[in-house]
Amino acid sequence: MSIVNEDPGDDSARPAIELAGVHKEYLSHGDRVQAVRRLDLAIAPGEFFSLLGPSGCGKTTTMRMIAGFEEPTGGTVFLDGRDVTRVTPNKRDVNMVFQSYALFPHLTAYQNVAFGLERKKVEKSEVRRRVGEIMEIVSLTGMEKRAPREMSGGQQQRVALARALVNRPRALLLDEPLGALDLKLRQQMQVELKRIQREVGITFVYVTHDQGEALTMSDRIAVMDAGRIDQLGSPREIYEKPATRFVAGFIGTSNLLDGSIDSVADGVAALTYGEGERVLVPMSGAMKAGDDIEVSVRPEKIGLCQTAPTGTGDSVLTGIVTEVVYHGTSTNYTVKTSAGPDLVVFDQNAFSAEDLAGPGDRVFLTWSPQHSYPIGV
């Protein structure tokens, strides 16, 4: 069931939200601070889009410019093809949900959700129909008479979502809405949010610093750093093929290796670090022998054993285990190697909870060339 407004004149190829050269400067103690640096961005109708990055990267400022709470220093904000750069928030067809739900404590869940419709003087029968519809979508049927204090944090968050969605906005902007919830409830709500977004068919723009949230829910992610978008892509693209060192380090855990290409054969470049130790990387761009490159390898792609591998088609490094941490579903190993930085290996405890090695043990690390990803090439 979709609750988004029907508009026969809609052009489905037109972005729901578009930023063209948008930037924002602040004056701080006489200095100009570049909060957002000339963003060009197009978000498709019905997309779950996340702005991801550390504190101070510009993600919340970007969302506030979309909502109209901040005016850009330059550039243009479009909603459904309409220039809204100088339009006030109440005249933009978007709603916003914050980390603090700001529910009216003296009103029931039903009254909180109905509040905006009643302010617009929507007919009572239509209010009842629309509130009932959205309460069902957010799994709150039967809780209409409860006060916010009688509801859990997750239920209160659903009320805040329903209150925003019942007005049928073109887009819903969510600024770290799960931050006040405990870990288990936050993980449950990630799945629920994605389900709700698919069901209502509305464009969601989600701001978060939590990589797991963004990877779980998003159709696309814009990873931001210092007011710029470092990489824009699907969760799989962002995770498997980081475009910059920052993205590789910020999204999950990544091992970063520096080296010089010693040889190239059959579409694979080889970096050698010692007798029998090599990192194999698929050829990309204009890579050639003698080039210095940086390679990202995810910890779960690496195999760890105490016997020398017999194959010749994989990357191979040797090292000494310095730390072993048991995480229930996996055991994490830190290994000091001759390649430079310590490498982290995640071993899934699928068949045995016994450690593969202990601190001080000499081990071999192996992985397929396809799991070595050259950064910035």
Domain ranges of the chain: 17-249, 256-374
Whether the pLDDT of residue 194 is over 80: the answer is yes
- Residue 11: the pLDDT is 55
pLDDT tens for 203-215 read 999 999 999 999 9
Helix, strand, or coil here: 215?
Answer: helix
- The band of 8, judged by pLDDT with boundaries at 50, 70 and 90, is very low
Pairing between strand 315-326 and 17-28?
A: unpaired
366 bridge partner residues: 303, 316
Write down the pTM of the prediction. Answer: 0.87
The pLDDT score that the predictor gives to residue 353 is 67
Name the fold adopted by 17-249: Rossmann fold (3.40.50)
Give the CATH number of domain 256-374; options: 3.40.30.120, 3.40.50.720, 2.40.50.100, 3.30.470.20: 2.40.50.100
Q: How far apart are CA 171 and CA 101, in angstroms?
A: 18
Write the pLDDT tens digit of every residue in 144-190.
999 999 998 888 988 988 998 898 899 999 998 887 778 888 888 88
pLDDT tens digits for 114-137? 998 988 889 999 999 999 999 998
* Nearest CA among 164, 171, 173, 161 for reference residue 51: 173
**pLDDT tens by residue, 37-72:** 999 999 999 999 999 999 999 999 999 999 999 999
Band of residue 5 on the pLDDT scale cut at 50, 70, 90: very low
